[in-house]
């Protein structure tokens, strides 16, 4: 018969200290980084590289939680954008925020692995994934790793909730009409998130008037808080002057 071990008061106290230390480590962020939820829990989050609904088809290295982490000044500026949009019954939805440098290295390895799948082709329908770096759609060193860049879109709070992404369903590519491409539960910007195509360029001519109106609304609201849009991606914005250093700490679950 196995002898039963009854924990002493000292053992329990030590265990609690270890658990507390682990929680503190999971929440510890360097150099003025913050969880966006701590500043504005109303901003929606769908951090795509923390799941399977992205061009790689799996979580990227370092994305251990569906959490948006940014520099505090970026978070405060996003909070101001959210307040403006709320007056129109709209909300921001974060798609990517701080990106660990290891995730960018993961992207590099993926782009060079020589394999193409239908799911991946949804994001770059016009060319091979090995051309993504040459064409400027993926960078070996990303501004996201500084905490100053974000990917986001707009949700119309008056609209019914859209369908969930189904990893087993075959969707049309990211340039297709909204009803045929993968659902994003946001306004129709004319091309899906992370779409490597001219149709995703912010000033693309091949989109409808309504789609152009949504893009202009997002760009204008972000610009009023100092954000600059990347012309090849309607979803990508950065806040100049926040910082140039790239970081590589993993995105841990927020414990509060």
Where in the sequence numbering do the catalytic residues fall? 233
| Spatial contact of 248 and 152, defined as CB atoms under 8 Å apart | no
201 is in an annotated binding site: no
CA distances from 140 to 133, 144, 163 (A): 8, 11, 33
| Spatial contact of 235 and 152, defined as CB atoms under 8 Å apart | yes
Distance separating the N- and C-terminal Cα atoms of the chain:
42
5 is in an annotated binding site: no
Q: How far apart are CA 160 and CA 147, in angstroms?
A: 32
SS3 track for 136-159: CCCCCCCHHHHCCEEEEEEEECCC
| Spatial contact of 198 and 206, defined as CB atoms under 8 Å apart | yes
Q: If we measure between CA atoms, which residue out of 256, 253, 227, 252 comes closest to residue 73? A: 227
Residue 186 burial by Cβ neighbours in a 10 Å radius (0-12, 13-18, 19+): buried
Q: Tokens representing 212? A: 């152009």
Going by the annotation, the residues of the binding site for Zn(2+) are 144, 151, 236
Output the known binding site. 144, 151, 236
């Amino acid at each position: 018969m196995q002898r039963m071990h009854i924990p002493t008061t000292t053992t329990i106290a030590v265990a609690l200290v270890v658990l507390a230390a682990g929680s503190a480590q999971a929440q510890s962020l360097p150099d003025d980084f913050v969880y966006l939820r701590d500043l504005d829990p109303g901003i929606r989050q769908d951090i795509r590289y923390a799941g399977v609904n992205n061009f790689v088809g799996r979580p990227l290295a370092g994305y251990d939680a569906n959490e948006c982490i940014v520099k505090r000044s970026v978070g405060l500026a996003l909070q101001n954008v959210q307040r403006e949009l709320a007056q129109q019954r709209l909300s921001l939805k974060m798609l990517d925020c701080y990106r660990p440098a290891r995730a960018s290295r993961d992207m590099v390895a993926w782009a060079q692995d020589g394999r193409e799948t239908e799911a991946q082709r949804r994001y770059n329908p016009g060319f091979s994934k090995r051309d993504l770096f040459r064409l400027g759609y993926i960078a070996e060193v990303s501004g996201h790793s500084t905490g100053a860049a974000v990917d986001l879109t707009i949700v119309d709070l008056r609209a019914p909730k859209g369908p969930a992404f189904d990893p087993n369903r075959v969707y049309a590519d990211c340039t297709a009409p909204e009803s045929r491409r993968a659902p994003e539960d946001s306004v129709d910007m004319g091309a899906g998130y992370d779409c490597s195509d001219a149709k995703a360029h912010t000033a693309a001519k091949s989109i409808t008037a309504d789609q152009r109106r949504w893009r202009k609304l997002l760009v204008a609201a972000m610009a009023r808080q100092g954000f600059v849009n990347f012309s090849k991606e309607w979803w990508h914005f950065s806040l100049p002057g926040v910082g140039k250093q790239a970081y590589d700490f993993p995105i841990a679950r927020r414990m509060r």
